[in-house]
Amino acid sequence: MQHLSPTEARMIAGIDAAAMLARIQRWCAINSGTGNISGIGLLTEELAAAMAMLPGAVRWVDGATTPYIDAEGREIERKFGQHLVLSVRPGANRRVLLTGHMDTVFPADHPFQTLKWLDAGTLNGPGVADMKGGIAVMLAALAAFETTPGASQIGYDVLLNSDEEVGSPSSAPLIAELAAGKLAALTFEPAALPDGTLAGERAGSGNYSVIIHGKSAHAGRNPQDGRNAIVAAAALVLALKALDSEDLRINPARIDGGSANNVVPDLAVVRFNIRPQSSADAAEFEVALKGLIDTIAAQHDLAIHRHGGLSRPPKPMDTPALRLFELVRDCGAALGQDIRWQRSGGVCDGNNIAACGVPVVDTLGVRGGAIHSPDEYLLVASLAERAALSALILSRIADGAMS
């Protein structure tokens, strides 16, 4: 390990990969799909116990209830599990934010629930990479960092939220609160590529529900008296897809509604996602969407209402962000790791943090792949490797980097 100080070398030598792996296996045995509030609760207890080994106070935070449009076009309140926050040295002049998420995309009734070894160094299972493995890396890095004399030079907050996989609607205000005034942020999503490449610039993301109210009628006797909400929904979907471009990806995802075959349907709900490359692209889309809704409502003589919007702003690579990425690259070089980064179309809480004006590297978790599928895997060799990288980043920030 060239270019490491004796203190840094001792810090990294103390990282216990076997203990990290044992934690991941225990945590992944608990289903924590976003909607499984009881499962999230069980995992929260496990994680709170692990976080209690660090200095500072752990607290449970109730998330905000958020509006959601159901299949009948009604606005209902959606609840999520609690979020965990650890605050260490809150009075420090220089503070850092570290974030991760407890939830996975696999609900309690999903068939993918168990761990399996693919080979001696590759573990398959729900959340092994995204991101219970990342949480293990984060906590191991913090534990190693706290053994150094320089740890007292900075403070930090750790947030583990329970709703990241659905866009963090409940924890977004908490993210903004904790990001305020931070020097930098580290987020532990899995690496963008199995070789450890990081995500640099990110597109933004917005989720929309458009509710279409038509008029029912008999499909044979008097269809002319009806106003077909499904036909209007189809027109909207095709018009949305016509706006899709490299700068603004639009994904129509679902149409709810309809009726019996002999009834003109009077309700449809169109759900779609956008991925703008810039804030200007997002603003232009809002204007275009209003025009589409007004036009289709007039053409089909029915009422259309929209819900939702941009929830994760685009994350550019500005000067402060580049400076943090260069620090990560230099720490990697000191450890013999070749750290690179590339643009990503994916989104995460790093988008929200960057929107607060805080530089963030958001793919410091494990190396692995096939996330959001039953093929999700973790490369076990990356546990000690990535924990060492984050511990060194923290140590060098404490020594004055990013000041």
Q: Where are the domains of the chain?
A: 6-202+315-398, 205-312
The pLDDT confidence band at residue 3, using thresholds 50, 70 and 90, is: confident
Sign of CA dihedral 50, 52, 55, 56: positive
Per-residue pLDDT of 266-311, as tens digits, reads 999 999 999 999 999 999 999 999 999 999 999 999 999 999 999 9
The CA–CA distances, whole Å, from 205 to 188, 199, 201, 312, 348 equal 19, 15, 13, 5, 9
pTM of the full predicted structure?
A: 0.95
- Within 10 A of 317 (CB to CB), how many other CB atoms are there? 15
C-alpha distances in Å from residue 302, one per residue of 183, 255, 290: 51, 17, 15
Superfamily the domain 6-202+315-398 falls into: Zn peptidases (3.40.630.10)
- The β-bridge relationship of strands 75-78 and 66-69 is antiparallel
Confidence of residue 65 (pLDDT cuts 50, 70, 90): confident
Q: Which residues of 331-356 are buried (b: 16+ CB within 10 A; e: fewer)?
A: bbebbebebebeebebbbbbbbbbbb
- As a whole number of angstroms, the distance between CA 133 and CA 117 comes to 15
Fold for 205-312, please state it.
Alpha-Beta Plaits (3.30.70)
Residue type at position 162: S
**pLDDT for the residue 63:** 86
pLDDT for the residue numbered 174: 97
Contact 264, 303 (CB under 8 A): no
pLDDT in tens, 143-184: 999 999 999 999 999 999 999 999 999 999 999 999 999 999
Mean pLDDT of 116-134: 98
* pLDDT band per the 50, 70, 90 thresholds, residue 403: confident
